[in-house]
Structure 1
Amino acid sequence: MAYYTGSANDMAAVRSALVDACVAEGWAWNEVTEVLSKGAMFLRLQVVSGYLSLLGRTSAASGDAPNVVRLGQIGSVPIVFPLTYEVFAFESEVYLVCRYSIDFYQWCAFGNSTIQGLPGSGMWLGASIGSLAADGGIRIDPESSNNGASHTTGALFWYTQNNGLSNRNSFVHSDLDGQGWALSQTLGASYVGPGPLAPLISVLPSRWNSEAVLLPLRSWKVRPSSKLSLTSELEHARYTRIDNYVPGEVVSIGPDRWKVFPWYRKDTSARNGGNNIDHTGTFGWAIRYEGP
């Protein structure tokens, strides 16, 4: 694993830092097509109208995900430069976290699923927002959020409804049931998000020692007969609650160190989030940290 950090004066510099980190870790970059690739993973990475735009593919020029995922202005809050970026690059997973305006965070991530037997490429990707600008701000709660046309959860795999593709901020190419990047069996299907972990997410942090357990960060696909299939389980990132953690804090658990971040912005006064807000309560995540 490699860890990189620095300052960027615009979104093009953020992209350059991400590309450089990936190339150093064995990815190939085609400057003409703006495609990053490694094995079965293909990612078009562009800067469009001030947004960093990521589009998953199954080849260098085809097999596109239904929409892009992006970093950029959410609601009325713009990204302010210069910002600080951190890149966590592993063999098959890459995470980028940006901090700006003191306590705002945005992110993107992509990698290859560890779940065996998927008929698709297994590539997954996500970012703070989908293809819309999220004019209505953030909508997040302890279980999962059914995004409306102008809302985003701001969190990875937090919901899986297909009836808001323009605002979907994560995709997995499982190709289960021959449906490619789809996360649900039909349009309007019941959402999953972190639903299987909802009881644990709701009771964190511990009342006994004030710590928050790191929970598996997974994606699911809705299948026929109301069944679910696990499509990814990230190796180097976890869900958690950050009530008692400072954003950017490094937490040691056994031999491992984890760096803790809010999904967008921490707010302990409304820890369970809400609708049309400019924060993500105390919902957050931890990324394995092997930096200095």
Structure 2
Amino acid sequence: MAYYTGSAVDMAAVRQALIDACTTEGWSWDGGNEVLSKGTLFVRLQVVSGFLTLLGRTGATSGSAPSVVRVGNFPDTPLTWPVVYNVFVFANEVFLVINYSVSYHQFAAFGLSRVDGLPGTGMWVAATLEQTTPVTPAGISMGPDYGNSTDNCVSPGLFWASMSDAARNRNYWIHSDLDAQGWWPGQTQGGVLIGIRAAGPLIGLLPNNWNSESVLLPIRGYKIRPSSKVSLTVDVENARYCRVDYYEPGEVIELGADRWKVFPWYLKNPSGRQGGHRINHTGTFGWAIRYEGP
């Protein structure tokens, strides 16, 4: 729908760029409550201790998710200024990607689920970091079929987490209200196909050995239900998982009539392409966002 980019000298400027892009495209800004809204979607945006925090809500001042998600400093490589911001605004989805220190990236995103029949609002909100950023270096856990753990690591990808039900490790929330649990996504450790596990076999096979291209795979969120059942709660419309082995960060690729802008989740590292646990990069795991810029 629309693409905005520019430079920001601090997190307040990043927040303002996001607000300006959204309000230009039909969102409303409640400055008193620091809430962006559109229909049933509400997200509070604050700058706290140098972090941009996002808190999903079901109303301007009510129905908050259990915790915020954030963009800001990692212990290994402090965020440096200025940053380049990229804002993608679609009818029901918003994506923010910042780039700093040449090769580092972080994201924030929120939107409305396309899955029919959810008893909740369908609002989802996510970002690189959860509410309690790792306090020690090498705090990333990310692989082709797993993400996140119980020892204060994060998986800085959209709906990637698959191994922990601890709120302190949660970098996304979905208001499905399935089982009357509101925002709770219901992830838990085990062999259930949630998080990246559902797409893991395909992620592990990319890129294509024949032409070095990466197939774009759906980004989906799930919730574990009673009796070990699983329900799809989010099917993202304008972004896809991919591998970035042979793509440069920010590169625009064309697939048919569509163009996609490619980013690593945090830091591309071809020599450690399969990721790992307690690392300071994200291998060659990344994503592509539908691009409607120049």
TM bracket (short chain): over 0.9
Partner of 2:154: 152
Number of aligned positions between the proteins: 291
Say which of 224, 235, 238 aligns to 1:236: 238
Partner of 1:29: 29
Q: What is the distance in 1 between the residues matched to 2:191 and 2:48?
A: 32
Residue 168, structure 1, aligned to residue 177, structure 2: no
Q: Given residue 276 of structure 2, which amino acid in structure 1 is its aligned partner?
A: G
TM superposition score normalised by structure 1: 0.97
Q: What is the distance in 1 between the residues matched to 2:70 and 2:113?
A: 20
Say which of 261, 264, 269 aligns to 1:262: 264
**Root-mean-square deviation (CA), in Å?**
1.3
Q: Which moved more, 1:75-84 or 1:114-123?
A: 75-84
Q: Given residue 182 of structure 1, which amino acid in structure 2 is its aligned partner?
A: W
Alpha carbons of structure 1 residues 110 and 95: separation in structure 2 relative to 1, 3 Å = same
* Deviations, residues 187-233 of structure 1 (Å, cap 9, x unaligned): 65666211111110000001111110000000000011111100010
Cα deviation for residue 160 of structure 1 reads 4.4
* Deviations, residues 74-102 of structure 1 (Å, cap 9, x unaligned): 12321100010010000100000000000
Alpha carbons of structure 1 residues 282 and 162: separation in structure 2 relative to 1, 3 Å = closer
* Deviations, residues 113-150 of structure 1 (Å, cap 9, x unaligned): 00011000000110000001222421101112232342
Q: What is the distance in 2 between the residues matched to 1:158 and 1:164?
A: 15
Partner of 2:81: 81
Q: What is the distance in 1 between the residues matched to 2:124 and 2:133?
A: 21
Q: Given residue 6 of structure 1, which amino acid in structure 2 is its aligned partner?
A: G
Residue 224, structure 1, aligned to residue 226, structure 2: yes
Matches within 5 A, 1:28-177: 28-136=28-136, 137-161=139-163, 163-177=165-179
Q: Which moved more, 1:80-89 or 1:155-164?
A: 155-164
Q: Secondary structure at the match of 1:199?
A: helix
TM superposition score normalised by structure 2: 0.96
Partner of 1:252: 254
Q: What is the distance in 1 between the residues matched to 2:236 and 2:80?
A: 30
Q: What is the distance in 2 between the residues matched to 1:256 and 1:2?
A: 14
Q: What is the distance in 2 between the residues matched to 1:236 and 1:134?
A: 30
Asked if the contact 1:161/1:183 (under 8 Å) is kept, the reply is: no
Alpha carbons of structure 1 residues 18 and 193: separation in structure 2 relative to 1, 3 Å = same
Q: What is the distance in 1 between the residues matched to 2:179 and 2:234?
A: 16
Q: What is the distance in 2 between the residues matched to 1:66 and 1:161?
A: 18
Matches within 5 A, 1:273-292: 273-292=275-294
Partner of 1:212: 214
